[in-house]
Structure 1
Amino acid sequence: MAKRYGGTYSPGGPTTPQPDAGARFRGRRAQNVSIAARAMYLVPLPLLFAGLGEVMQGDATGMAVELGAFGILMLSAVLLNEGRRAEEAYHARAVARPPAIPRKMFAAVATTLGIFLAAGLAGGSGILGGLIFAAAAGAAQVLAFGLDPMKRKGMEGASEFDIDRVARALDAAEETVADILTSVRGVGDRHLEARVEKMLSAVRDVFRTVEADPRDLTRARKFLSIYLVGARDATRRFAELYSRNRDAAARAEYEALLDDLEASFRQHRDELLRDDKVALDVEIEVLRERLQRDGL
């Protein structure tokens, strides 16, 4: 029997409000994808084929050198791309510490070593020739991609302790945000994912407020430790339950919690800007009771 098609935008279709499609991008910078950095994964491939050719010829030494150079250059490509991502995260924040591991610097060192093995030992250029090629390759990589950020930024005139305190708190909050996204993506529901992203846009507004005035960190940390961690735990519980049985009641309850959390985050940001400590403490207590009462 024929059935009429009806979608969200069809005449007479469902009128359920859809989450703001732009919310997932609000407050976030577009990722800068470097084709040159990605291409570094392709550069060592000839060494892989050459090493396999040495296996066919029975040259164990040549195989070890060429496959070793391939592995080191692949490691360099991984470090370079991870270093660029860490650098983007650093530049996206108003208050940040430099990356704990200077990945781009290590990538340049790995490139230098890999090219020395490939050119000096496997390529027949000799030790001196290999050193020249290796130094040129390492220098070219540094010139092309730069080095890792080396300085703390933000809070001009503040002590290193204050900068570290803010940076650590925001790093921990960003990890919690990533956990929330990972949990909801495991459900496989685009609508829910967009709804969570909309709520998290309000979370990022709080981050920016703290970065603009780090004096708000003490109150914001207390707020985030309850609201954001509560949202993470609720999302994990909901994802486990909904993935098993697609319980419509649990979904409705979870979406209602998201609405309350989003409103609370936006209200919290306004209270931080007004420096309204009393209203903030009352709001924290109300949500604490809500999270203790609700269980998905």
Structure 2
Amino acid sequence: MANRYGGRYSPDGSHRDHRNQASTPMPPAPIRHPLESRPKWVTIAATPFLLNAFFQAPVGMISDLAAFGLIASGMWMTREGLVAEAAYQVRRVARRPAIPRKLFGGLLAAVGLGVGAAAPEAVTGGVLVGIAGMALHFLSFGADPLRDKGATGVDSFQQDRAQRMVDEGEALLAEMKDAILRAGDRRLEGRVAMFAATVDELFDRVRDNPGDLSGARRYMGIYLMGARDATIKFANLYARTRDQEIRASYEKFLDDLEKDFKARSRKMLNSDRDDLDIEISVLRDRLEREGVRASEPAAITSQDAQTLDELLSYDVTKDKEKAR
């Protein structure tokens, strides 16, 4: 489907002046692993198995086709593992991937190399080639994340509930992004992407503190569902009429909804800060009841210490005696 072009001199007048367009924030770049393109090249390198398969005997054809299929499947699984690892690395609190996709991808690629290199009289050579391919796969792509990150002190049951709600919210956002494509307007697509980035901030707050899920539930469910339904209706209507009043009303709707999500994220952050202050004050009270009082270290005001070693070995009591 062709995208409608718009600029400063567009006849519909829906686009702003280039000075205003320069100040319009761009949607955030998608999260990508730096090695995400490597599996594609490995799959391309395995195409000789596919091309030579049709010029061999039936046994050779089947083995070459199986080799290419196993390598391509392994690289697809490896790429999925890299995508999962990128999402794991960018989050402060994350569960390890349930399936070690890179490990399984390496095993499939190794078996594919072994099948492609094996011959009836040289099975050992195929096994060695497969082992070498597995080692090279590990050196090229690394291992899957094997431990949870930032999950200390987090209730696993609450975290699972929060993750289910986040998954449902991300599905609604994906439907919203897909619906706005029918409008055929790149600026509206970018505006929806900016709104999705704001919602992702709320998702991150919920992941960090699953105990606040009850307060954010209606934002992640009812509000996002309403935003998706409104986007579907707007995209269908705007694609037919190109009514600028409807467009302005939809953009105002996104602005108001985005402010609500930002306010909720700030409220959750302030709540976490208040909880921390309460914990610190309670701990201080307990220490004072035990007779332990925090004392401030004496300030060093002398000009005699000119180096770090002299500063560390300087006797503060001398300054106190001089002051007396």
Q: Shorter-chain TM-score category? A: 0.7 to 0.9
AA paired with 1:241? L
Where does residue 208 of structure 1 map in the other structure?
204
User: Shift of residue 176 of structure 1?
Assistant: 2.2
Q: What's 1:52 paired with?
A: 54
Listed as ranges, the gaps of 5+ residues in structure 2 are: 1-6, 273-324
Contact 1:48–1:67 at 8 Å: present in 2 too? yes
Paired with 1:258 and 1:247, the residues of 2 have a C-alpha distance of 17
Instruction: Give, in angstroms, the shift of residue 251 of structure 1.
Output: 2.2
SS in 2 for 1:242: helix
Distance 2:251 2:196 in 1: 13
| Superposition CA RMSD, Å | 2.8
- Which of 173, 176, 191 aligns to 1:195? It is 191
SS of 1:271 mapped into structure 2: helix
Letter of the structure 1 residue corresponding to residue 54 of structure 2: L
Amino acid at match of 2:80: E
Measured after TM superposition, the shift of residue 131 of structure 1 is 0.7
Quote how far apart the aligned CAs of 1:19 are.
8.7
Give the C-alpha shift of residue 116 in structure 1: 1.2
Within the candidate set 259, 276, 283, 1:263 is matched to 259
CA distance in 1, matches of 2:196, 2:78: 29
Normalized against structure 2, the TM-score is what?
Answer: 0.72
Residue 223 (str. 1) matches residue 219 (str. 2) = yes
Gaps of 5+ in 1: 1-5, 277-296
Matches for 1:1-296 after TM superposition, within 5 Å: 7=8, 14-15=16-17, 18=21, 21-25=24-28, 29=31, 32-54=34-56, 59-121=57-119, 126-275=122-271
In structure 2, C-alpha distance between the alignment counterparts of 1:207 and 1:68, rounded to whole Å:
42
1:21/1:142 Cα in 2 relative to 1: closer, same or farther (>3 Å)?
A: farther
Larger Rg: 2
In 2, the alpha carbon distance for the partners of 1:144 and 1:33 equals 9
For 1:285, the equivalent position in structure 2 comes to: none
Aligned-partner Cα distance in 2 for 1:161–1:236: 34
Structure-2 separation of matches of 1:96 and 1:198 = 23
Q: Which residue of 1 aligns with 2:302?
A: none
Alpha-carbon distance in 2 for matches of 1:231, 1:14: 25
Deviations 1:40-90 (A, max 9, x none): 121211111111222xxxx12211111111111111111111111121112
Change (3 A) 1:78 1:188: same
Specify the code of the residue in structure 1 equivalent to 2:129: F
Give 3-state SS (helix, strand or coil) of 1:231's partner: helix
For the residues of structure 1 that align with 2:24 and 2:17, how far apart are their CA atoms? 16
CA 1:18/1:219 → structure 2, altered by over 3 Å: closer, same or farther? farther
- Indicate if the aligned counterparts of 2:92 and 2:149 stay in contact, CA closer than 8 A: yes
Give deviations 1:80-104, integer Å, cap 9, x for gaps. Answer: 1111112111222222223333221
After superposition, what is the alpha-carbon deviation per residue over 1:99-131, rounded to whole angstroms, capped at 9, x for unaligned? 33322121111112101110113xx67111111
1: distance between equivalents of 2:26 and 2:168? 22
Greater relative contact order: 1 or 2 (C-alpha under 8 angstroms, separation 6 or more)? 1
Q: Distance in 2 between matches of 1:96 and 1:259?
A: 30
